[in-house]
Chains A and B, each alone.
Chain A
Amino acid sequence: MRSYLSDRMGAALLMAPLLLFLVLAYAWPFLGVVKWSFTLPTPGLGQYEALLTDDLVQSVFIRTLRIAAIVTVVSVCAAYAITVVWVRGTPAQRLIAEFCILVPFWISVLTRAFGWVALLSNRGLINTWLQAIGFISEPLALVRNEFGVIVGMTHFLIPFAVFPLASAMRSLDDRVLLAARGLGSSRMRTFWTVFVPMTRSGIIGSAMIVFVFSLGFFVTPAILGGGRSVMIAELIYLRIFQSPDWGLGAAISVVLVLFVSVLMAVLFRYVKPKQLI
């Protein structure tokens, strides 16, 4: 019989390469970013003061939170519907749902963003068709604004929202649903009063994942926002690469990482990591 200790040693050894990589590629450079935030251009807390007073930084923060919140609500609702079909549908329905969930993973974020531009722009498919059938006379502003950003991000994030929901729905005891119906509850009522509350941990996990991912989006808002809906990641990029304002860029990064860490800490109080996959 193998001892508990050697099992633990084995597990530690197997995880060591990943840990080492994370330390070298993320933790160590991040410490450098933290240092910049306190030293550039001059040592002190000046950058953090600027964060609190700079109107542009604050409006970007608020926009980022707003977009992330809207994307979270829309993604989780859409993912919930898809997951119900994926987990509880007929075999054919499951296959279709699985296809819809997995295919987006094989297409790069850049391709998808440009795909949405082709669909949503003034001379894109949607506006052309709507004009052709005479539904509208002027093209609708569907892209280069928050709407376009939200559409693109939601599309990207739905598959990620599916997994925690699927995990919660799979662990649900069918007999409880039968019990509700046997006690006289209609299918609709059973869904809202029993099924949805019982998948609460999945909803929380799914929402947190989508929200946290949303906060760091870069490519999608940059392309579909057309520079008019700048989010935090793009702001950091601009501060570091466009204007020589490394200190402020670093300070924004630190605040973002801290905020996300707090969210994750809250998340893991309610949801076990294995429920997220």
Chain B
Amino acid sequence: MQQPGRAAEIKAIGIGKSFGSFRALDNLSLNIGRGEFLTLLGPSGSGKTTFLMILAGFVQPTEGKLFSDGTDITDRPAEQRAAGMVFQGYALFPHMSVEANIAFPLKVRKKSASEIKKRVGEMIERVGLIGHEKKLPSQLSGGQQQRVALARALVFEPGVLLLDEPFSALDKSLRGQMQAEMKRLHQETGTTFVFVTHDQSEALALSSRVAIFNHGKLLQVGAPDEVYDRPDNRFVAEFLGEINMLPLKGVQPADNGSTGLCEDRAVNMHCKAEKVLGDAILAIRPEHMSIAREAAVGENGIAATATASTYLGAATKLDLTTRQGAKVTVSVPNEVAAAALSKGNSVWLTWPAEKGFLLPDGGQ
């Protein structure tokens, strides 16, 4: 976080934070790699924003250590860490023009007038705000204010950029546009980005890694496809998107993964079963299941009856009930859904062995 123009590597060891008797963050250890785009994801009150504030230096951890490029910065005040920060609601200086807002961190660093002019000009061009230099923040749209906030946080080339739910106030189409822009800025600057959101699709779309928080604990960190396809626990599985959970009995290791009984039918999984032998839960994403007239021998499948459908445009969401009463949702092509419903009786749900994963029975 100190040398301009160089992405920082951050290491958090055993970070904890209590507000009175409330435990906001508990024993968090996490490495944030140089130049990575890490998203902190979780519901509100999960500790993700507290961790971001600790990284920024606005909140002092109750215990634990924080290192930046190997230097202990746990006790270093915010103004000396100088991480770039974009706040929820942008927190622009309302009495300063766009130009003055972006120049602020450079003026604080006592850069020469000519350098400030040059770098502010470059930044304004980079975020597409040419023609708005003299305007006040109140004269800009939400998206433009967002750009000013990004420019202001990046203009002094911080080692890390911290972003606290920056898109929560934008409408959906603008959100998509700003997400693309942020991804571009990440690539261009090469800086380490730490991004807080409660929107799982945003997290999966943007990040190189996602860290999922709940109740002050870091539950899992991994690449988007890793946490989505192979969640460690039920909370992560459910938080990242809709998921079907089927009870499994007699789970045991097999060649090439594991095997178990789902509604009295043998099913195979590619994942290992060492943590969840015996009874477990089989979790499958709705888009990974398909509807078939019957399941072949050796293919994963259970019988179910379609009960309702929701037309989503590109696909249809189909609700089904299995023979033993488990509720399942699948996402299937529209004509398949119509056919399954019109039959009104039994269909088969099938899924590839690599798409089903095991979670501990009943546990979080």
- Chain A residues engaging chain B, CB cutoff 8 angstroms: 173, 175-176, 178-187, 189, 193-194, 197-198, 200
Q: Does B156 contact A (CB under 8 A)?
A: yes
Decide yes or no: A182 and B95 within 8 Å by CB, A173-B89, A175-B89, A189-B108 being known contacts: no
Decide yes or no: A182 and B58 within 8 Å by CB, A173-B89, A175-B87 being known contacts: yes
**Which residue from A173, A182, A198 sits with its C-beta under 8 Å from B79?**
A182
Chain B nearest Cβ from A199, distance in angstroms: 10
**Which residue from B79, B84, B89, B93 sits with its C-beta under 8 Å from A181?**
B79
**Which residue from A175, A185, A186, A200 sits with its C-beta under 8 Å from B91?**
A175
Q: Does B67 contact A (CB under 8 A)?
A: no
Q: Does B291 contact A (CB under 8 A)?
A: no
**Which residue from B88, B89, B94, B152 sits with its C-beta under 8 Å from A183?**
B152
Chain A nearest Cβ from B152, distance in angstroms: 7
Q: B235 — which chain A residues lie within 8 A by C-beta?
A: none
Decide yes or no: A178 and B95 within 8 Å by CB, A183-B152, A183-B153, A184-B82 being known contacts: no
Q: Does B85 contact A (CB under 8 A)?
A: yes
Q: A184 — which chain B residues lie within 8 A by C-beta?
A: 79-80, 82, 105, 108-109, 156
Q: In the complex, are the beta carbons of B87 and A179 less than 8 A apart? A: yes
Q: Does B78 contact A (CB under 8 A)?
A: yes
The listed residue with most B CB atoms (<10 A of its CB), out of A173, A182, A184, is: A182
Q: Give the tally of cross-chain contacts (CB within 8 A).
A: 68
Q: Does B340 contact A (CB under 8 A)?
A: no
The listed residue with most B CB atoms (<10 A of its CB), out of A184, A189, A194, is: A184
A-B contact pairs, 19 of them (CB 8 A): A175-B87, A176-B91, A178-B87, A178-B91, A179-B87, A179-B91, A182-B78, A182-B82, A182-B85, A183-B82, A183-B104, A183-B152, A183-B156, A184-B82, A187-B79, A197-B95, A198-B93, A198-B95, A200-B95
Q: In the complex, are the beta carbons of A185 and B87 less than 8 A apart? A: no
**Which residue from B57, B77, B93 sits with its C-beta under 8 Å from A180?**
B93
Chain A nearest Cβ from B221, distance in angstroms: 25
Q: Mark B40-83, 1 if CB is under 8 A from A, else 0.
A: 00000000000000001110000000000000000001111011
The listed residue with most B CB atoms (<10 A of its CB), out of A176, A183, A185, is: A183
Q: B108 — which chain A residues lie within 8 A by C-beta?
A: 183-185, 189
